[in-house]
Amino acid sequence: MSASATADALLNTRGESRALDAFVVAAAFERGGRFCAFALGDGTLSLVDGLGQSEWRSVAAHEGAVLALAPDARAGAFVSGGDDGALRRTSSAGEVSEIARFGSRWVEQVACHAGAKGSGLIAASVGKAIHLFDEALVDKAGTQLKRFEHKSTVSGIAFDAKGKRIAASHYNGVSLWFVAAKDASPRELEWKGSHIGVALHPEGDAVVSAMQENALHGWRLSDGQHMRMSGYPAKAESLSFSRRGKWLASSGADAIILWPFFGGGPMGKAPLELAGGDGVLCTRVACHPGHDAVAGGFADGLVVLADIDSGRVLPVAAPGRGAVSALAWNADGTRLAFGTESGFAAIVDFARK
Amino acid sequence: MAEPAVPRSAAVPVTVLTGYLGAGKTTLLNRILTERHGRRYAVVINEFGELGVDNDLVVESDEEVFEMNNGCICCTVRGDLIRIVGGLMKRRDKFDGIIIETTGLANPAPVAQTFFVDEGVRQKTRLDAIVTVVDAKHLPERLEDSHEAADQIAFADVIVLNKTDLVSPEELEAVEERIRAINRFARIHRTERAALPIADVLDQSAFDLERVLAETPDFLTDDAHEHNDDVTSVSFELAQPIDPERFNAWISVLLAEKGQDLLRTKGILHYAGEDRRFAFQAVHMIADGAFIGPWKEGETRTSRLVFIGRNLNRPQLRRGFESCQAA
């Protein structure tokens, strides 16, 4: 058996894949845990019923490219933003409805938070603004809850675990907004330079941004302490905290880079490097929702699953299908979806058989 | 750094259109877009002028210029372009090239530097040419008013000298001379209502240094230049091979010290013992260099270096360049 056939063993025995013929921008599982969606550069979503029906359905969600995708706050649906200026919801049955339209402006970032009793929030960034919608009201027209303005274009958004705060990265720092606050003024976390993405610690300890200058910058929220994490050869476009926030995984180097967020934090420490050694850039990371394990996708198409404590690496898919551009777990961590710039998409089942 | 993910030929050509408001930028843009050339362009615009832009794929953007935290005080890039290029690459099959129209008052340096500094942009695109549209009648006033008018000319690979019908032949000669004094290396096309074959504007491979330097006229007959605030250009040739280490040492110090005045630097170098030509270019302090194809059989291996900028001290630059000769 060749090396790549071995590396493909999981994909071959427990996976399902397609060549979708368009850049895979993002992948997501809806909150019901059954359907997966791949958002594509041709404006479609490819919907996959995960219960072994093997039906991959193409749904025209946008006129241009899909730029962002998130599981909707309610089960059974996805929310997407496109370069057609539309923010739309697509149900797992393939019905597309419009949440809002923003003219010729791109909808570049989307995030949703599922609250208690079916409540929830949908956030989308368009230029310098974040538009916030109440999940319960979006089926009615003109139900925008709030609009948060920034001095420069928003490059990343993230809800905290409770949906109380939303973080927005932009030029010169990150703004942290209280979603329910009456007076709309954020806590400004400042650091000079261009911040291109943001992640919030799952326990609310810290905010971390990726920077144009191939570094991460973090702020400890209790005291505003700065954290600098540098040494990347490329931009860390993908950030993911491990389930309880012990580690922050990132792309941007020729290994999965993990910074410790315990025992005083990452300052002055060397990060853990997993699945490295091939000289190929890691392009996407996704921490497992239930274990201290992380999936990583690389520029040559390799996808791996690494156990953080032992450092053991399990190949999921062999190189050769295009740079990995999308990587996502379902909520219980039984399935991993990934896609590449050249249109390969797959779902691999990790459930006990 | 990793090798480019795509071969250079697959990189998307990008044309940057600059020029003062009213010079005829949008007219030229619409000519490019409506002419039947069978190509599709993604157009990035930063202000909706009085004229609409007639194209399927138009991206509206705010020019967001920011400083890089890399120790270069003049290293500014366009953050919006980094995002837009990334977004457009998700539908790469829908267009053949990108045209970026800047605002009238824009300094072209951040746009040009974006193509040097951002690795993602560098890998996926190639800056084909900076095209500057100037108004033959009003250019002299603009040059008095502001630095930007001269900067836009200094950065240009192609200059569309527009509205020639509004000036006398003598005025036209005079204005062309002003342009030449700033940038002797750009190609100038005289137009009325921005009418010219689009082949004169697109697919210029102007950042293909070989072509620029090969086409540069009267390389050896430089004028002596005054030291003042005007933008001028100077060029040098060396028959002796260059010592790469000496060149690097000299040019890094030069760019670090004088980078703010040096708008563009470009050259083809003959490194000692090397059969390939080394292409060097810089925008302010941001430099880039790579080996390009081999010297042709029988070709004289001459190193050439061009500076466009302010306060160019010609004798000092010449001495510096000469000190890079291999022993």
CATH at residue B32? 3.40.50.300
pLDDT in tens, A85-106: 999 999 999 999 999 999 888 9
Q: Is residue A263 part of a domain?
A: yes
How many other C-beta atoms can be found within 10 angstroms of the C-beta atom of residue A277?
A: 9
Nearest CA-CA distance, residue A319 and chain B, Å: 14
Residue-wise pLDDT tens digits, A29-82: 999 988 999 999 999 999 999 766 678 999 999 999 999 999 999 999 999 999
How many angstroms separate the CA atoms of B286 and B264, rounded?
10
A141 and A236, same structural domain? no
Average pLDDT over residues A268-277: 93
Position A25 confidence tier, pLDDT thresholds 50, 70, 90: very high
Residue A282's closest chain B neighbor by CA?
B2
In chain B, DSSP assigns E strands to 12-18, 41-45, 58-60, 65-67, 76-78, 97-101, 125-135, 158-162, 187-190, 231-238, 262-269, 276-283, 286-294, 303-310
Residue B6: predicted pLDDT: 41
What is residue A2's predicted lDDT score, i.e. its pLDDT? 52
Q: Are residues A119 and A10 in the same domain?
A: no
B188 and B250 inside one domain: no
Number of Cα atoms under 13 Å in the Cβ half of residue B68: 21
Sheet holding A215-220, edge to edge: A156-159, A165-178, A187-200, A206-211, A215-220, A226-229
Q: Confirm whether B1 is domain-assigned.
A: no
User: Does one domain contain both A235 and A343?
Assistant: yes
Which of A315, A311, A277, A309 has the alpha carbon at shortest distance from A297?
A: A315
A65·B87 Cβ contact <8 A: yes
Which of A56-70, A244-258, A319-333, B20-34 shows the lowest mean pLDDT across its residues?
B20-34
Q: Is it the case that residue A135 has pLDDT exceeding 50? A: yes
> Which of A67, A153, A323 comes nearest B64 by C-beta?
A153
- Contacting residues of B for A197, CB less than 8 Å apart: none
Q: Is residue A36 part of a domain?
A: yes
Q: What is the pTM of this model?
A: 0.89
- Is A167 contained in some domain? no
Nearest neighbour of B64 by CB, restricted to A66, A104, A152 = A152
Q: What is the rounded average pLDDT for all residues in chain A?
A: 93
CB within 8 Å: A193 and B62: no
Query: Structurally, how many domains does chain A consist of?
Result: 2
Between residues B305 and A140, the one the model is more confident about:
B305
Residue B38 has pLDDT above 50, yes or no: yes
What mean pLDDT do residues B152-166 have?
Answer: 95
ipTM: 0.90
Task: Provide the pLDDT for residue A116.
Answer: 83
A326 to chain B, closest Cα gap in Å: 12
Residue A278 lies in a domain: yes
Residue B213 lies in a domain: no
List chain B residues with CB under 8 Å of A107.
Answer: none
Residues A295-319, mean pLDDT to the nearest whole number: 97
Domain count of the fold of chain B: 2
Q: What confidence tens digit (pLDDT) does each residue in B54-86 have?
A: 777 888 888 898 888 766 666 889 999 999 999
Please state, for a pLDDT cut of 70, what percent of chain A lies above it. 96
B164 plus B234 within the same structural domain: no
Q: Which residues does B contribute to its contact with A (CB < 8 Å)?
A: 1-2, 5, 57-60, 62, 64, 66-70, 77, 79-80, 82-83, 87-93, 118-120
Of B5, B57, B92, the CB nearest to A299: B5
Examine residue B214 and state whether it is found in any structural domain, yes or no.
Answer: no
Is the pLDDT at B216 greater than 80? The verdict is no
Average pLDDT over residues B117-145: 91
With a cut of 80, say whether residue B223 has pLDDT above it: no
| pLDDT tens per residue, range A213-228 | 999 999 999 999 999 9
Domain boundary among A149, A171, A204: A149
Tokens of A65: 């490219």
The answer on pLDDT for A284 being more than 80 is yes
With an 8 Å Cβ cutoff, is A342 touching chain B? no
Of the partner residues B64, B80, B119, the one whose CB lies closest to the CB of residue A234: B119
Residues 250-279 of A with CB under 8 A from B: none
> Residue A341 pLDDT > 90, yes or no?
yes
Residue A178 lies in a domain: no
**Cβ-defined contact of B1 to A106 (cutoff 8 Å):** no
Which strands make up the sheet holding A44-49, listed edge to edge? A24-29, A35-40, A44-49, A56-60
Judge if B23 and B138 occupy the same domain.
Answer: yes
User: Which of A149, A180, A212 is where one domain is finished?
Assistant: A149
For residues B302 and A209, which has the higher predicted lDDT (pLDDT)?
A209
Rounded percentage of chain B residues whose pLDDT exceeds 70: 87
Domain containing B294: what range? 219-322
CATH code of B270's domain: 3.30.1220.10
pLDDT (0 to 100) of residue B36? 79
Confidence (pLDDT) at A238:
98
- Which of B62, B66, B90 is closest, CB to CB, to A65? B90
What does the pLDDT read at residue B43? 94
Average pLDDT score over residue span B253-278: 92
For residues A38 and A16, state if they share a domain: no
With 80 as the cut, is the pLDDT of residue B211 above it?
no
Question: Do you know the residue count of chain A?
Answer: 353
Which among B96, B110, B107, B88 is positioned nearest to B33, based on CA atoms? B96
A45 at B interface, C-beta within 8 A: no
> Which residues of chain B lie closer than 8 angstroms to A106, CB-CB?
59, 87
- For chain A, how big is the Rg over CA atoms in Å? 19
CB distance from A193 to chain B under 8 Å? yes
Structure tokens at B207: 């950042």
Q: Does A27 touch chain B (CB under 8 A)?
A: no
> In terms of residue numbers, what domain contains A60?
31-149
DSSP state letters, A100-117: EE-TTS-EEEEEEEE-GG
Cα A257 to Cα B316: distance, rounded to the nearest angstrom: 48
Cβ-nearest to B79 among A65, A105, A153:
A153
Q: Is A106 on the interface with B (CB under 8 A)?
A: yes
* Minimal C-alpha gap between B91 and chain A (Å): 5
Last residue of a domain, one of A118, A149, A180: A149
The confidence score (pLDDT) of residue B208 equals: 57
Q: Lowest mean pLDDT: which of A170-179, B237-246, B279-288?
A: B279-288
Let me know if residue B327 belongs to a domain: no
Distance CA A282, CA A303 (A): 9
**CA distances in angstroms from B157 to A99, B112, B131, B201, B207, listed in the order given:** 45, 12, 6, 9, 8
Higher pLDDT, A69 or B126: A69
- The lowest-confidence range among A166-170, B20-24, B272-276, B296-300 is B296-300
Alpha-carbon distance values, B135 to A80, A221, B29, B32, B117 (Å): 45, 54, 15, 18, 31
Residue B40 structure tokens: 């599709």
Residue B51 is predicted with a pLDDT of 61
Residues B51 and B184 in one domain: yes
Largest CA distance in chain B: 60
Long-range contacts made by residues A182-191, C-beta under 8 angstroms, separation at least 24?
A184/A146, A184/A148, A186/A148, A189/A219, A189/A224, A191/A217, A191/A219, A191/A226
- Residue B199 and residue B265 share a domain: no
Which tokens belong to A268?
């002055």
CA distance A31 to chain B (A): 26
